[in-house]
Chain A
């Protein structure tokens, strides 16, 4: 039987109540901040956030304050999965023993890419493995942004960061292709994970429904949210949503769900736009030569095929 949750029908019907309030030191046009607001809106009042170190810790809690209407705790960048596990078992046991009268809360980790798939990987994997009833959200801005934009495993091939500057010896900047968190966390290696999805801030209703669906599943769920970063990706701050949309249109981001291992596409474009359309507007890619762009296009095309997307793919030049 499919899980039951109250589905949000449209932008207009999105819940009015805010749980991520005005008043935080995130960049003007911050993609992760949009995702935080949408997640909090979808999750509602009975929610506890675990916020490992990253922009969404440092920028949100500057200084001795924070924008959340619901309980929030810091975790180290290393251990969000472990702290959330501790919170989850505590609530279970305290409720069982009758020591507290609380309704079991939504426990949501809002971890950056580093805190999820790099330095936070071990704790995240363990949360998934042990089956804690928590929603682990990876807000992916494709870099260690809080420290001033350094490469993370999610930085795309060819992305310039302060640790991967392009130069005559390394013309492409970042040399590696990113990890695939969906495959790592929800590709079958963590049997307790029954639900995982990718989402994008450019598709807010879809994102909010995936939050609700993830919370409705008993046990752990994973959400991988694409969150453009105007500072790190160097584009004007008003373009955050359009950059996110371009990522989906070019296949630099795929929107799908994995429910009990079965993939459902949330958007199935009939054809993908060439990857240049996505790269052109971002300062972090301005140094790329045609051969690098071709490599990226080949990577996108291969992923589309592996994931089973039946769209017309742009040629690789």
Chain B
């Protein structure tokens, strides 16, 4: 039976991990993701979950433990936030290149300096070129559902890639919300037991991760590129199946909100989409031809999905809640990726950037309103007024 529950996004991911019977998890405390591990520990102690929880010596150790467990055939998880993620950076590529489909949960946190617990997507985005698949959940329900879908996609024999279930620190990790915990039978039907292609098995001994000759490098990298592209098809397939089974229907890649008749759209990912939707409603009532696009995946980046809808709009206002100092366009990672994705699309819209919500700040309704006004100026001008705007710093309204 589906159970209704009120808790946080971290608890919701723990609910998913319990449903999929993870074998191993590796923990280390860092705000704000920590509670998912506290929840696992509690459930192991009271017998609800049967899993080995290893208290790692740091994030580098955490990801390495999960890597080892996955090579031995276990369904393994871990997680982190902020500088914890950058500390573990060495091992991301070996895990993905070794095709070990572990799952990490990330509650975003600003990188130091200075000390700041608030959400910024920069931590998770530093992992983006290592071959992991990931995207952001906007609420606890989506965090749980993403966890289930990511296991299914990542462990698919044609994919075999590690995944990150990302969510904004505090917003999704800490603010209590209502969600449904699906039925165990349904989950069992949705996700088969983990079957690695190869595992450390004395009866079928293999050598994992040997040195290679230079000419083996390009074909191995090509394989990693191909599987990342192949994952897009799997994402569509699994998201649809998830909807049929569980009754919650997600757009595979790009959620559209009030885009009917919209000439300009916000484009963003994660928790701020919840406030954004509300702001869009007010703005529509006030006559702004505005809508919203929310990315559900960052890797693989949904170019085709964006290209298919981009020409419906005249202006896209990309909201980056991350920093990429000195990046092309003067904004963040999403601005660069979005511009690149639709650069060759016929009748492509003007893409302008906004940087907002840094340091874990709320992006308020008022700020959305001002961004909309700036987008309207672009619409009227028919060209970029300013490539990238750091909201509250160099606004032009």
Direct contact of A and B (CB under 8 A): yes
Residues in A neighbouring B208, C-beta threshold 8 A: 71-74
Residues in A neighbouring B211, C-beta threshold 8 A: 57-58, 61-64
Count contacts on B: residues with CB < 8 A to the other chain: 45
Residues in B neighbouring A152, C-beta threshold 8 A: none
Selected from B51, B65, B209, the residue in CB contact (under 8 A) with A86 is B65
Complex interface: stretch among B69-77, B247-255, B333-341: B69-77
Any A CB within 8 A of the CB of B213: yes
Any A CB within 8 A of the CB of B23: yes
* Contact string against B for A residues 139-151, beta-carbon threshold 8 Å, 1 for contact and 0 otherwise: 0000000000000
B4 CB → nearest A CB, Å: 29
Any A CB within 8 A of the CB of B58: yes
Any B CB within 8 A of the CB of A79: yes
Residues in B neighbouring A85, C-beta threshold 8 A: 54, 61, 65, 68
Residues in B neighbouring A50, C-beta threshold 8 A: 68
Q: In the complex, what distance in Å separates the CA atom of A137 from the CA atom of B95? A: 24
Known: A62-B211, A79-B91, A93-B51. A86 touches B68 (CB 8 A): yes
Q: In the complex, what distance in Å separates the CA atom of A83 from the CA atom of B66? A: 8
Check B68–A83 contact: CB distance below 8 A.
Answer: yes
Check A123–B193 contact: CB distance below 8 A.
Answer: no
Known: A86-B67, A99-B193. A94 touches B72 (CB 8 A): yes
* Chain A residue, CB-CB nearest to B220: A64
Q: In the complex, what distance in Å separates the CA atom of A256 from the CA atom of B205? A: 34
**Docked complex: B189-211 residues within 8 A CB-CB of A:** 193, 200-203, 205-211
Residues in A neighbouring B203, C-beta threshold 8 A: 102
Residues in B neighbouring A87, C-beta threshold 8 A: 68-69, 71-72, 200
**Docked complex: B1-47 residues within 8 A CB-CB of A:** 21, 23-24, 26
A51 CB → nearest B CB, Å: 9
Q: In the complex, what distance in Å separates the CA atom of A91 from the CA atom of B200? A: 10
Residues in A neighbouring B213, C-beta threshold 8 A: 63-64
Any B CB within 8 A of the CB of A201: no
Check B200–A123 contact: CB distance below 8 A.
Answer: no
Q: In the complex, what distance in Å separates the CA atom of A24 from the CA atom of B242? A: 49
Of the candidates B60, B193, B208, the one having the most CB atoms from chain A within 10 angstroms of its own CB is B208
Any A CB within 8 A of the CB of B260: no
Check A102–B54 contact: CB distance below 8 A.
Answer: no
**Docked complex: A90-108 residues within 8 A CB-CB of B:** 90-94, 96-97, 99-100, 102, 105
Selected from B60, B73, B216, the residue in CB contact (under 8 A) with A94 is B73
Check A47–B202 contact: CB distance below 8 A.
Answer: yes
**Docked complex: B46-92 residues within 8 A CB-CB of A:** 50-52, 54-58, 60-62, 64-74, 76, 90-91
What residues make up the interface of B, taking CB atoms closer than 8 Å to A? Answer: 21, 23-24, 26, 50-52, 54-58, 60-62, 64-74, 76, 90-91, 94, 193, 200-203, 205-213, 216
What residues make up the interface of A, taking CB atoms closer than 8 Å to B? Answer: 45-48, 50, 57-58, 61-66, 68-76, 78-79, 81-94, 96-97, 99-100, 102, 105, 122-123, 125-126, 130
7 tightest CB-CB pairs across the interface, nearest first? A86-B68, A74-B209, A61-B210, A82-B64, A90-B72, A90-B74, A83-B68
A-B contact pairs, 30 of them (CB 8 A): A58-B211, A64-B216, A70-B202, A70-B205, A73-B68, A73-B208, A73-B209, A79-B61, A82-B57, A82-B60, A83-B65, A83-B68, A85-B54, A86-B24, A86-B66, A86-B67, A86-B68, A87-B200, A90-B70, A90-B74, A93-B23, A94-B72, A99-B23, A99-B73, A102-B202, A105-B200, A122-B58, A123-B60, A123-B61, A125-B57
